[in-house]
């Protein structure tokens, strides 16, 4: 359980440059005190190295349970890969198991979340940016694609809940993404700004459904997407209208809301103006992933210390880090492999 003060933590989650921290990075983190960190493939080489890096990051901020995040979904978005961890299928494979047999699909979704938790907790990683709750539409860009469970919102609800519960059972906290929905994007938000022209009724009947059903999740990540029916001038990440009226009120999410990666090309302007816009819109925490120290320095200068509602939400997340159940890893792996074996060609 979390019991150390957080009043000095800044409202940011930051990456790092490589396999180990430089002296300059350590000094920066120690002074600027990010609330959490995120790892990518560039930070991964072997088991002891991962554990050492996670411990070093936490030592910098003198918080032994500081959140350390990773995108460990399966399929093409899996930062830790064989031989360190098994290769996992994409969410669409789990969706196909569900289509054939809903009971098997739900069990497979829970098992994959639980197995991710076994893997990640071994290194001290305590947050997985999973599940993807986006509902893809026909013709949409494959930036989501097979990362989604299904194009049926109700299937996404059930599978997303099972995956989230599996992570939590293993002592790893989930992040639902990408609010209020990335499935209609026709371009990759890593490279340019998607604009969605669906009506509010269309969005409410499909895109918002999984997020509303899982609105009790502890953390969520925004989408860098313009929804013209709601706010034609700002992407969701920097739209006070979308955050207040859609994410907080209509969808009902009251957990910790983080931006998607602020270094993605969908957002325009310098890092200072992007950070200002994100916090002004109502995001609790800003996320910067690429580990470029100059960019992090600019962002940190425009990032407040956690306070008010954002601090309360962060403290609530920290209170959830309370250990895993007593499941047997080998038994669960064998069961999972049996459930997905016939669908692995879809990975």
Phi, psi of 150 (to 5 degrees): -170, 165
- 3-state SS of the chain: helix, strand, coil percent to 5? 45, 15, 40
In a domain, 5, yes or no: no
b/e sequence 198-236, b meaning 16+ C-beta within 10 Å: beeeebbebbbbbbbbbbebbbbbbbbbbbeebbeebbb
CA distance 109 to 341: 14
Whole-model pTM over 0.85: yes
Is the confidence at residue 181, as pLDDT, over 80? yes
Q: How confident is the model at residue 344 (pLDDT cuts 50, 70, 90)?
A: low
Is 97 within 8 Å of 343 (Cβ atoms)? yes
Range 155-172 average pLDDT: 98
Residue 281 falls inside a structural domain? yes
Nearest to 8 by CA among 54, 61, 57, 55: 61
| Amino acid 347: pLDDT | 45
Residue 328: half-sphere exposure toward Cβ, Cα within 13 Å: 4
Q: What pLDDT is attached to residue 319?
A: 96
In the three-class reduction of DSSP (H, G, I as helix; E, B as strand; rest coil), residue 72 is classed as strand
The domain of 107 spans 10-341
Contact (CB, 8 A) for 126 and 172: yes
pLDDT (mean) for 7-29: 95
The pLDDT, as a whole number, for residue 306 is 98
Inside any domain, residue 2: no
Instruction: Determine the average pLDDT of the residues in 33-38.
Output: 98
Mean pLDDT rounded to a whole number for the chain: 94
In a domain, 68, yes or no: yes
Establish if 299 belongs to a structural domain.
Answer: yes
* Dihedral sign from CA coordinates of 268, 272, 278, 280: negative
Task: Please give the structure tokens belonging to residue 281.
Answer: 């819109």
Active site residue 276: no
Helix 102-121 / helix 91-100 crossing angle, nearest 10 deg: 150
| pLDDT (mean) for 129-141 | 89
Q: What confidence tens digit (pLDDT) does each residue in 91-111 have?
A: 999 999 999 999 999 999 999
| Counted domains in the chain | 1
pLDDT of 136: 93
Active site residue 116: no
44 by DSSP, 3-state: which? coil
Length of the chain, in residues: 347
Question: Which of these is catalytic: 101, 190, 197, 325?
Answer: 190
Task: Quote the DSSP letter at residue 175.
Answer: -
Quote the pLDDT of residue 191.
73
**Residue 346 banded pLDDT, cuts 50, 70, 90:** very low
Domain membership of residue 1 (yes or no) is no
**Per residue in 255-310, pLDDT tens?**
999 999 999 877 888 999 999 999 999 999 999 999 999 999 999 999 999 999 99
Q: For residue 279, give Cα distances in angstroms to 32, 63, 193, 258, 310.
A: 17, 24, 19, 10, 10
Residue 48 lies in a domain: yes
Residue 216 pLDDT > 70, yes or no? yes
Flag whether 275 is in a domain. yes
Q: What is the pLDDT of residue 140?
A: 72
Mean pLDDT of 122-141: 92
Catalytic residue among 71, 128, 231, 260: 260
- Look at strands 256-261 and 285-288 and give their pairing: parallel
Token representation of residue 4: 């150390």
- Mean pLDDT over 3-28 rounds to 87
Residues above pLDDT 90, as percent of the chain: 87
What single DSSP character describes residue 218?
Answer: S
Residue 110 is predicted with a pLDDT of: 98
What is the CATH number for 214?
Answer: 3.20.20.300
Closest residue by Cα to residue 272 from 284, 286, 291: 286
Cα torsion for 210, 213, 216, 220, to the nearest 10°? 10
């Amino acid at each position: 359980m979390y019991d150390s003060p957080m009043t000095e933590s800044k409202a940011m989650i930051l990456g790092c440059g490589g396999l180990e921290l430089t002296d300059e990075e350590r000094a920066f983190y120690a002074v600027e005190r990010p609330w959490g960190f995120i790892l990518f493939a560039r930070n991964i080489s072997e088991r002891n190295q991962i554990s050492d890096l996670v411990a070093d990051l936490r030592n910098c901020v003198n918080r032994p349970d500081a959140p350390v995040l990773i995108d460990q979904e399966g399929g093409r978005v899996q930062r830790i890969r064989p031989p360190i961890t098994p290769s996992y299928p994409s969410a669409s494979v789990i969706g196909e198991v569900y289509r054939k047999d809903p009971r098997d699909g739900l069990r497979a979704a829970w098992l994959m979340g639980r197995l991710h938790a076994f893997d990640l907790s071994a290194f001290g990683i305590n947050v997985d940016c999973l599940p993807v709750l986006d509902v893809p539409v026909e013709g949409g860009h494959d930036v989501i694609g097979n990362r989604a469970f299904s194009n049926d919102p109700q299937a996404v609800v059930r599978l997303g809940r099972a995956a989230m519960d599996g992570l939590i059972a293993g002592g790893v906290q989930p992040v639902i993404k990408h609010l209020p929905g990335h499935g209609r994007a026709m371009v990759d938000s890593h490279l340019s700004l998607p604009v969605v022209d669906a009506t509010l009724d269309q969005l409410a009947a499909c895109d918002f459904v999984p997020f509303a059903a899982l609105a009790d999740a502890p953390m969520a990540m925004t989408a860098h997407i313009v929804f013209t029916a709601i706010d034609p001038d700002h992407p969701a990440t920097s739209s006070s209208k979308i955050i207040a009226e859609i994410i907080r009120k209509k969808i009902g999410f009251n957990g910790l809301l983080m931006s998607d990666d602020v270094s993605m090309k969908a957002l325009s302007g310098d890092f200072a103006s992007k950070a200002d816009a994100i916090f002004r819109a109502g995001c609790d925490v800003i996320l910067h992933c690429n580990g470029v120290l100059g960019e992090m320095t600019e962002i940190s200068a425009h990032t407040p210390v956690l306070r008010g509602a954002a601090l309360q939400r962060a403290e609530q997340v920290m209170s959830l880090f309370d250990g895993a159940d007593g499941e047997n890893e080998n038994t669960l792996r064998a069961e999972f492999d049996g459930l997905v074996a016939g669908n692995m060609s879809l990975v």
